[in-house]
Chains A and B, each alone.
Chain A
Amino acid sequence: MTNIDLFILDGLITAGYFAILALSLNIEYGYSGLIDFGKAAFFALGAYTSAILTTNGFPAPLAVLMAMAVAGLGGLAISIPAIRVRSDYLAIITLVFAETIRVILKNESWLAGGVLGIRGIPPMIDLRSISYDTHLIGQAVFVLILFTIFATAGWLLTNSPFGRILRAIREDELASSVYGKNNTAAKAVVFGVASAMAGAAGSFYSQYVGFVSPDLLILAITLQIWIMSILGGPATILGGLAGALLVTSISRGTRILKDFLNLPLDANNLMFILTGALLVLVVTFKPTGILKEGRVRSVRR
């Protein structure tokens, strides 16, 4: 007796959380032109904060708020050195930031479980006592609601006057500052907001899978989020969702397909090769991604 539908549902829920992450990246990169290679760091900061609080008996809403606060502040802090430098340096600084946090979490076991991480995080929507199926459905509805909330917030942000400033900065920083817009402040706000969103995603994700560990911070996770953003369309709201669904399908799909097709390659290697190739192809032939940017048409890249 198989419950392949439950496996698929679990995949969809995971994709949902990564969609929120990809959305936060879209706000940073797609709309504002900031190259953030440390997305996983804010995701993990939120996840860890939330995990520490909920496993010590604090209520979930507080945990989420603190997660967003810690991640958001982390984003603001990183923006101080990072914002004024050119884009490729920004990418490198954020990448280094994530690696630093990972190494510290691994080695200082008094901080948050060290290498073993924290497990036993209580779910915020807990229907396990009814049945596993019901619990999954509850979690699926939960992530759907969350994504809708964040998507709406994102849409409002990027279509507001502030959003126009961001697009202006993305297109031509010099012009934007000449017109009197405070670029640095705007970028810092974006970083803070997007990081807070990533932190919230981390908090909710950790309650779904029930654990956090330093492996959340490896570069591969950040790259995955980037792939989702690029594939789906970086300057869109729903692009992250499309990208997340696509990437999760590939990753889980190869795991199932390998049982049916006698793949000449190891399934895991194949998945990475495919993802890498896909990335190169999309960037070469369809750089705006699957979905197109709404309203303000971007200059053809």
Chain B
Amino acid sequence: MIELSILQTITNGLITGSIYFLAAVGLTLQYQLMKFPNLSHAEFFAIGAFLTYFFADVIRIGFWPGLALSMLLTGSLASGIYLAVFRTLMIRGASLLHLIIASAGLGVMLRYLMWEIAGRKSYFFTQPFTPFDVGPVRLTTLWLAMILAAVAAVTFMILFLNKTRLGKALRGLASNPVLARLSGIRSGIFILLVWMLAGMMAALGGTLRAADTRIIPELGVEVLIPMFAVSILGGIGSVSGAFTAAYILGLAESFGVVALSRLGLSTEYKALIAFAVLVATIIVLPTGLSSIISKERVRRD
């Protein structure tokens, strides 16, 4: 029987959960605002990583400055894509399916453009991250950064949504668009803002993930299902819900691998854990955790 270092397993789950949160927070806001699952959100994960690589290792301005620039650029790109593609579609009265399909098609286009531009070799960040021990737990500066980034992101988002006028207006728009417009909120700007934020978070998560693994066009697709699992489990549109759900999923996967190998099953089944969470949530608690944990329930059809 292989022993289990519980603390390390928990830490691994927290690290994974942080990445899932960064990937999902933008998605969950978008999903609630736009009312359709944007399958191309995953691509901004990879685009963000590539852009950081470009600034950090090709132009050589350093990893963290590169990351900041990439976040701005990816956010703008996301807003731009909204204007060019999805706003056009919505103006023309596109149905739910059409939006999903368009987002899938867009995702494929972006991904294979990335393959075309950068697909002949593999890319790795040169920025070094050093490992260190905290008692029995092994960490690296990068893994710590991931957890810190997630905490910073959730803090920022919650403060923004609850304490600033901009944020409150956004929440109003998301929960009741008709009323919001009646009270004079100009929805266009806000929608752009949400896409911008989504893009920025994705770039942050993508860059950190790529630093831990590698920079590849499929970077986002790798976390596509977990991204949706987290959004739905957390309750679409709820940042705190997504935060909770992300760590639940991360820990489930981490302990899941242990269970799988103890049971003698292939560890490739780890992927099914996110699936199971997703399906279970849809059937048992379709409004997500946020309908239980937070008094502030955002309305959903």
Contacts and interface: CB of A to CB of B under 8 A. Distances in A.
Q: A and B: real partners? A: yes
Contacts of B282: 81, 85, 89, 92-93
Contact of A283 (B102, B268, B286): B102
Nearest to A223: B104
Given A107-B268, A280-B109, A273 B94 contact: no
Interface string B1-41: 00000000000000000000000000000000000110000
A296 to B, nearest CB: 17
A88 B95 CA distance: 12
B119 interface: yes
A260 B120 CA distance: 23
B185 to A, nearest CB: 26
Contacts of A227: 105
B64 interface: no
Nearest to A278: B105
B115 interface: yes
Interface in A253-301: 265-266, 269-270, 272-273, 275-280, 283-284, 287, 300-301
A17 interface: no
A82 to B, nearest CB: 8
A100 B101 contact: no
B275 interface: yes
A269 B94 contact: no
B97 interface: yes
Contacts of B143: none
A10 interface: no
A230 B102 CA distance: 11
B112 A273 contact: yes
A100 B273 CA distance: 10
Given A91-B100, A279-B101, A283-B94, A99 B112 contact: no
Interface string A77-112: 000010001111101110010011001001100000
A283 B112 contact: no
Interface stretch (B47-55, B84-92, B165-173): B84-92
Contacts of B92: 284
Contacts of A100: 272, 275
B108 A223 contact: yes
A301 B97 CA distance: 10
Contacts of B95: 287, 301
Contacts of A91: 37, 100
B102 A273 contact: no
A209 B100 CA distance: 32
Contacts of B232: 89, 92
A66 interface: no
B235 interface: no
Most buried by A among B85, B109, B268, B271: B109
B89 A273 contact: no
A280 B98 CA distance: 9
Interface string B56-100: 000000000000000000000000000001001100111111101
Nearest to A272: B112
A282 B36 CA distance: 18
Interface string A222-233: 010011001000
Most chain B CB atoms below 10 A, which of A87, A279, A280: A280
Contacts of B89: 283-284
Interface in B239-267: 265-266
- The contact size tier of chain A is 35 or more
User: What's the dominant secondary structure at chain B's contact region?
Assistant: helix
Interface of A: prevailing SS: helix
A92 B228 contact: yes
A273 B275 contact: no
A301 B98 CA distance: 9
Given A85-B283, A107-B268, A284-B89, A35 B104 contact: no
A265 B96 CA distance: 33
B283 A273 contact: no
Contacts of A266: 115-116, 119
Contact of A280 (B37, B96, B102): B102
B158 interface: no
A100 to B, nearest CB: 6
B225 interface: yes
Contact of B100 (A35, A85, A99): A35
A208 interface: no
Contacts of B119: 266, 269
B157 interface: no
B85 A280 contact: yes
Nearest to B300: A86
B109 A276 contact: yes
A29 interface: yes
Contact of B96 (A85, A87, A103, A284): A87
B102 A284 contact: yes
B278 interface: yes
A226 B232 CA distance: 24
Contacts of B301: 86
Given A89-B282, A93-B279, A283 B98 contact: yes
Given A86-B301, A301-B95, 6 more contacts: A99-B272, A103-B271, A273-B116, A275-B105, A287-B94, A301-B94
The list of the 6 closest CB pairs from A to B, nearest first, reads: A279-B105, A276-B109, A276-B108, A272-B112, A107-B266, A96-B275
18 contacts: A29-B97, A86-B286, A87-B97, A100-B275, A103-B271, A223-B108, A227-B105, A269-B112, A272-B111, A276-B106, A276-B110, A278-B105, A280-B109, A283-B94, A283-B102, A284-B94, A284-B102, A300-B93
